[in-house]
Every structure is written in C-alpha cells, then in structure tokens.
Amino acid sequence: MLRAIPFCRLFLLLPILATALAVGACRDSGEGDYLAVAGKIFVFNYRIAEATYHLTLIRVRRLPDDTTLETTFENPAGGAPFIVRQKVWPTVEKIGVDSPPIKCVKVGRAYKVTIRLEDAAGKLLQTIDRTMISDTDQSVMPDKPLVVGPFYDPNPDKDKPDPSAAACPV
C-alpha cells in the first residue's frame, strides 16, 4: 500500500518542488507598472551631424493587445515638444524609443521626457516622467554631415556655412 520515500530521494524532489513553487509565485498579479526605464541617453551621431534622445524600456508584465506608447520630448531649441507615437507588441521584452533629430543640446541641463502607455481605447495605463541630462554639448557636432551617400563619400559641402542653422537659446 503506502511505501515510505527513501530519505535520499526526498532530497532529489526538494529542488523540483522549490522550482514549482517559485514559478507559481511569478504569475502576473494584474497590478503595477507595465514598463520600466532601463536606459536613457543622448545619441550624437557625428557622421550624419544629428543628435537624438534614446530611451530603452523593459516590459515588467504582459501588455494588453493594441497598446500605444506616446513619448513627449522637450525641444532643446525651444518651441513645441516632439511627440513620438508607436505601437507596442504585447510580448516584446525591450522597447527602443528615439526622438526626431534635435538641436541645441546643452551639457548639464535637464530636459523633460514623458512616456504615456495607452490601451486600444485610449485609456491611460501608465505614465513615466523622467529628465535627461547630457554630458556633451551639441556645439561639438558638425553643422553638416561629414559623409554622404551609401559609400560614405566625404561631404563636399561640409565646410560651407549653413544659413539654415538655427541659433540656440541661451
């Protein structure tokens, strides 16, 4: 009828039982944040003479289907902020968000970034507010791309003055 489990086999079953309990404890409770900020940086691409904001978000728990991420970046040159909207797939682990090209980034100044996660009906699921501070001033960037074309040919116009370059606010 009932047989006793030998003591040495019991030690073999304990890791299996502990793993089963741990997996059961990791279930999504349905509460809390969906996303967390894993990284944020200003990207200065000298080759094409562009600077952008870049954020990396990680999924903390499963997202509802058809969610949208709306990220608002402060415009370092002044004026209206940049707004980037993108669809988020429910099973993606990491999400990269880039701003359009920006001008007038100053070293040590805090720039505001707001991230809003909305479901398919437009209901707000989460808001993340962050500030980003650059350790590099945009004045080190060239006014024009250093290279052009698919073969990285030197830009013949790189040393000519750029009349469209906007003056940055002080």
> pLDDT tens, position by position, for the chain (170 residues)?
555 555 555 455 555 545 544 444 444 445 789 999 999 999 999 899 999 999 999 999 999 999 999 999 999 999 999 999 999 998 899 999 999 999 999 999 999 999 999 999 999 999 999 999 999 999 889 888 999 988 989 999 888 776 655 578 76
Domain interval for residue 127: 35-149
Let me know: does 81 contact 132? Beta carbons within 8 Å: no
- The domain total for the chain is 1
Residue 129 within any structural domain of the chain: yes
Q: Which residue has the tokens 């962050």?
A: 130
Residue 139 within any structural domain of the chain: yes
Q: Which residues contact 137 (CB under 8 A, 6 or more apart)?
A: 105, 106, 107
pLDDT at 23: 43
